Amino acid sequence: MRSLLVATLLAGLLSGCFISRDRANEPLEKSKIDSLAIGTATATDVANELGAPSEVVQLGKRSAWRYDFTTTKMSGFTLIVISFLNTDKRSDRCWLFFDESNVLRHVGTTLDAEDTRYAMPWQDVD
Amino acid sequence: MRRALVIFVVLVTASCVSFQYQREIVECEPRAAVVEGLLAGTTELEDVLVALGAPIDVWEGANGNPVLAYGGLRSREWNVEVSVPIADSGSASLSYSDTTAKTRGTIFVFDAELHLQIVRSGLLGDLRQTFARRRPASIDDGDDGAKRP
């Protein structure tokens, strides 16, 4: 009788567990970013190598292009009327800064998408 | 008998009242020690990119100069959702969210020579309102499609 109760309880609890993953855009390839020569590569070269950017920001006569790849991992469970959810969203980002002649002058890259974790809300995630 | 009643009430309310505890993590705030090492007047845009990587946002500041924003979100919140049937084929929902979290971070404001001029920390939404370039509003067309004088 007790084992049946435990099995029923476990089945009820586990049926409310879930995980999900969402990805936006394609992962950034560091080798492609590194192949862009600062001071000589043009906006056309960048577009040919990396494709269309996610965003273009006009900065006076200069401009900046953003490329990104975002991963979101969600995990949680539901106990009858209460749900516990954890969402972790991180991205690979690359900003490329062009001068008024559309020549690449600066590049900033952060690759954090791999650090996205499934976790419960009370677990430490760095 | 009382226990059965409690279970019954829980099962009934499950269909119309639910609670949610959620933690949300979005990106990471820059480390304070690194930010403190980036001083206005002596730091250039390249130095900030090398020290902190790609910003989460870039916008046009005063006079068209760049502003780089770094930040992240760490929020914990309780949500209560109430759903009440009002017709045979539908229901009305009311959701109350005790959200205290907003994205915090640091912005770096540069001059025309891309030298760092200002460093500010706080809520990025507020900082953007303060340090984004204000462009003149365009004149809307009238209802009849004619341009206003």
Beta-carbon neighbour count of residue A3 at 10 Å? 7
Which one of A84, A106, A108 has the shortest CB-CB distance to B53? A108
Tokens 């916008």 found at: B59
Q: What angle do CA B111, A62, A47 make, to 5 degrees?
A: 140
Provide the residue ranges of all domains of chain B, joining segments of one domain with +: 17-131
Distances (CA, A) of B149 to B136, B142, B143, B146: 16, 10, 14, 9
* Percent of chain B with pLDDT strictly greater than 90: 50
Asked if residue A88 lies in contact with residue A117, where contact means CB atoms within 8 angstroms, the answer is yes
Provide the residue ranges of all domains of chain A, joining segments of one domain with +: 18-115
- pLDDT band, residue B133 (cuts 50/70/90): confident
What residues in B contact A112, CB-CB < 8 Å? 27-28
Mutate to test the interface with B, among A9, A25, A83 (most CBs of B within 10 A): A83
CA distance A30 to A113: 13
Digit-coded pLDDT (tens) for B15-53: 678 889 999 999 988 999 999 999 999 999 999 999 999
Q: H/E element holding A79?
A: strand A62-79
What residues in A contact B22, CB-CB < 8 Å? 76, 84-87, 121
Digit-coded pLDDT (tens) for A5-59: 887 777 766 668 889 999 999 999 999 999 999 999 999 999 999 999 999 999 9
User: Looking at residue B6, what is its pLDDT?
Assistant: 77
Residue A86 has pLDDT above 50, yes or no: yes
| pLDDT-wise least confident of A65-74, A95-104, B51-60, B131-140 | B131-140
As a whole number, the mean pLDDT across chain A is 92
Decide: helix, strand or coil at residue A111. strand
User: Any bridge partners for residue B110, and if so which?
Assistant: B116
Q: Do A59 and B65 touch (CB under 8 A)?
A: yes
Q: What angle do CA B46, B48, B51 make, to 5 degrees?
A: 110
CA distance B26 to B146: 46
Could you tell me the pTM of the whole model?
A: 0.79
What residues in B contact A91, CB-CB < 8 Å? 27
> What is the CATH code for A18-115?
3.30.1450
Q: Do A112 and B52 touch (CB under 8 A)?
A: no
Q: What is the mean predicted confidence (pLDDT) over A80-106?
A: 95
Nearest to A36 by CA among A15, A53, A19: A53
> Can you spell out the DSSP letters for chain B?
-HHHHHHHHHHHHTTTEEEEEEEEEES-PPPHHHHHT--TTT-BHHHHHHHH-S-SEEEE-GGG-EEEEEEEEEEEEEEEEEEEEEETTEEEEEEEE------EEEEEEE-TT-BEEEEEEEEHHHHHHHHSPPPPPPPPPPTTSPPP-
Q: Do A87 and B19 touch (CB under 8 A)?
A: no
> Can you spell out the DSSP letters for A7-41?
HHHHHHHHTTEEEEEEEESPPP-HHHHHTSPTTT-
User: Looking at residue A87, what is its pLDDT?
Assistant: 95
Residue B137 has pLDDT above 50, yes or no: yes
Q: What is the mean predicted confidence (pLDDT) over B4-25?
A: 76
- pLDDT band, residue A90 (cuts 50/70/90): very high
ipTM for the assembly: 0.85
- pLDDT band, residue B98 (cuts 50/70/90): very low
